[in-house]
Amino acid sequence: MSSSNPQVHAFDLVIFGGTGDLAARKLLPAMFHRFLDGQLPDSSRIIGIARESTDDEGYRAQMRKALSEGHAPDPQQLEAFLQLVHYRPLDARKDAGWDDFAAMVGERPDNVRVFYLSTSPDLFIDICTRLGHYGLNRGEARVVLEKPIGRDLESANQINDAVGQVFSESQTYRIDHYLGKETVQNLLALRFGNALFEPLWNAAHIDHVQITVAETLGVGNRAAYYSRAGALRDMVQNHMLQLVCMVAMEPPSSLSPDAVRDEKLKVLRSLKPIDESNAAQLTVRGQYRAGAADGQSVPGYLDELEGGKSHTETFVALKTEIANWRWAGVPFYLRTGKRLPERVSEIVVAFKAVPHSIFDPSAGALAHNRLVLRLQPDEGVKLWLTIKHPGPGGLRLRHVPLDMSFAEAFGVSQPDAYERLLLDVVRGNPTLFMRRDEVEAAWRWADPILEAWSASGEAPKPYTAGTWGPSASVALIERDGRTWNEDGE
Ligand code: BG6
């Protein structure tokens, strides 16, 4: 098969949590797409691991179904791909089967070994300890840790310490799939490949930044995980803070992994603390009630829970600041939630108004320039400018976007973030993965917020499924005389 992308070194991708949602929805499809593109050498293997007692054929049948969801792939190609897929039943806490598994991995000593831990973080330590016991951490071996790593700084440290006993930091890939999204990477190109933005990229010219990650989906069958996590741990501590870092970091001296991660770390360490003294002013928590999503009525979060009582937040809005020279006084507004009216993720950089208007008020209001980076759907960039309304009738001002949809501009659909990130692990490139100190800094900022919420004893504010969260989220930004970006503006 020919590909515009070079093949990677042959590998074994071992997925712990192989029968889980992420494997079926993201990891296997990502590998299948790279296979179709000719990037996977024939001697590579994908080995699903879980407790379920099935075999290669049983697992292939599950994955065949998952890979055919929503569209019918070419049957021959699908079957050829499935020949790379294997399964071993294992329990991270029991000995049975581990000898056999270690022998299987040992059959291909030259393959890069990637152990992907897509399980609850409670199992990370057991799995790594066993991998070490069987010597599977030696040579070209890497471990991938899915987020969230722990549920606070203390538990993250325990996990990182225990994993660190078996895998060195350079073998450890803490994945945040937002960093693999095309638009997020484009931020690097946009900021550091154009002379245009950098002189304006600071508190003198930027009024505020807002980041929205809205989902229409509810918690669904992930309630067991989600009820212990909530939106702050699930989305803000990782994905959204990583987006903040990409917007706010200083130019790294190169794209080398540590140059980039050093700069991101400085941003995380400069975030202004939110704690009991100010959490009520700077944060809003919400929980969805029954309502409508995608035109259908849907139950509320509590209805989906077995126990029916919970203070878990399914929505967060907050205002933070970065205490350094570049960003002093520039608010960063973040909001994310489940069961919102549309699926949209975007970063909005709102510039300051011109210092003085030369236009007659009858020309219309002067709007601020905004740079909108759309992560999904329809990845692209819009730069909102003020121009003259064409034609006669006097000088009337209009606010229009320079609009670039990547799909339209390049005629290609964007690869899923996992496609790039999984192959980066095989290649041994950790630039787009989180270093231990980044995870720690992110928890150091998030922990006091969680503590403040828990100390307040207050329940999250209810919002109807299919709306933009509690009205307090609107008030949070409007108090400052600003508004959330809406309707694709
Ligand atoms: C995951 C969260 O990390 O990201 C999920 O655990 C969330 O709750 C998902 O739905 C969102 O990812 P994406 O790529 O669909 O925006």
Is 239 known to be catalytic?
Answer: yes
Nearest C-alpha to atom 13 of ligand 1 is from which residue? Answer: 178
Buried b (16+ CB within 10 A) or exposed e, 276-301: eeebeebbbbbbbbebebeeeebebb
Output the residue whose Cα is nearest ligand 1's atom 5: 234
* Cβ-contact 130, 97 below 8 angstroms: no
Which atom number of ligand 1 is nearest to the Cα of residue 217? 10
Q: How far is the CA of 242 from the centre of ligand 1 (A)?
A: 14
Annotated catalytic residue within 33, 208, 239, 389: 239
Looking at residue 4, its pLDDT comes to 64
Three-state SS for 316? Answer: strand
Residue ranges of alpha helices (H) inside 176-327 are: 182-192, 223-229, 231, 241-248, 257-270, 279-282, 301-304
In angstroms, what is the span from residue 417 Cα to ligand 1's centroid? 11
pLDDT tens for the chain, 489 residues long, are: 444 678 899 999 999 999 998 999 999 999 999 999 999 999 999 999 999 999 999 999 999 999 998 788 999 999 999 999 999 999 999 999 999 999 999 999 999 999 999 998 889 999 999 999 999 999 899 999 999 899 999 999 999 999 999 999 999 999 999 999 988 888 999 999 999 999 999 999 999 999 999 999 999 878 888 988 999 999 999 999 999 999 999 999 999 999 999 999 999 999 999 999 999 999 999 999 999 988 899 999 999 887 678 999 999 999 999 999 999 999 999 999 999 999 999 999 999 999 999 999 899 888 899 999 999 888 889 999 999 988 887 889 999 999 887 777 776 667 889 999 999 999 999 999 999 999 999 999 999 999 999 999 999 999 999 999 999 999 999 999 999 997 555
Radius of gyration of the chain (CA): 24
Q: Residue 378: what pLDDT? A: 83
Which residue has a Cα nearest atom 15 of ligand 1? Answer: 215
Q: Which is it for strands 291-293 and 370-376: parallel, antiparallel or unpaired?
A: unpaired
Determine the Cα–Cα distance for residues 293 and 285; give it in Å rounded to an integer: 20
d(CA 215, ligand 1 centre) in Å: 8
Helix, strand and coil content of the chain, in percent to the nearest 5, comes to 40, 20, 40
Of 212, 178, 241, nearest to 372 (Cα)?
Answer: 212
The predicted structure's pLDDT at residue 489 = 52
Cβ distance 196 to 371 under 8 Å? Answer: no
Domains of the chain: 11-174 (3.40.50.720), 179-414+436-478 (3.30.360.10)
What are the pocket residues of ligand 1 if the criterion is a CB atom closer than 6 Å to any ligand atom? 215, 234, 345
487: Cβ–Cβ under 8 A, 6 or more apart, which residues? none
Calpha distance 73→64 (Å, rounded): 10
* Cα separations in angstroms, 333 against 43, 227, 367, 403, 480: 48, 25, 19, 23, 11
Closest CA to 217 of 344, 357, 371, 127: 344
Q: Hey, what are 249's tokens?
A: 């970091």
Give me ligand 1 centre to Cα 50, in Å: 22
3-class DSSP state for residue 133?
helix
The atom of ligand 1 lying closest to the CA of 234 is 6
Indicate the top mutation candidate among 182, 211, 239 to test ligand 1's pocket, ranked by most ligand atoms within 8 A of CB: 239
| Residue 115, phi then psi, degrees to nearest 5 | -100, 110
Q: Is 257 helix (H, G, I), strand (E, B) or coil?
A: helix
239 C-alpha to ligand 1 centroid (Å):
9
Q: What is the DSSP string of 371-382?
A: EEEEEESS-EEE
Q: Using an 8 Å Cβ cutoff, are 65 and 8 in contact?
A: no
For residue 181, the ligand 1 atom closest to its alpha carbon is 14
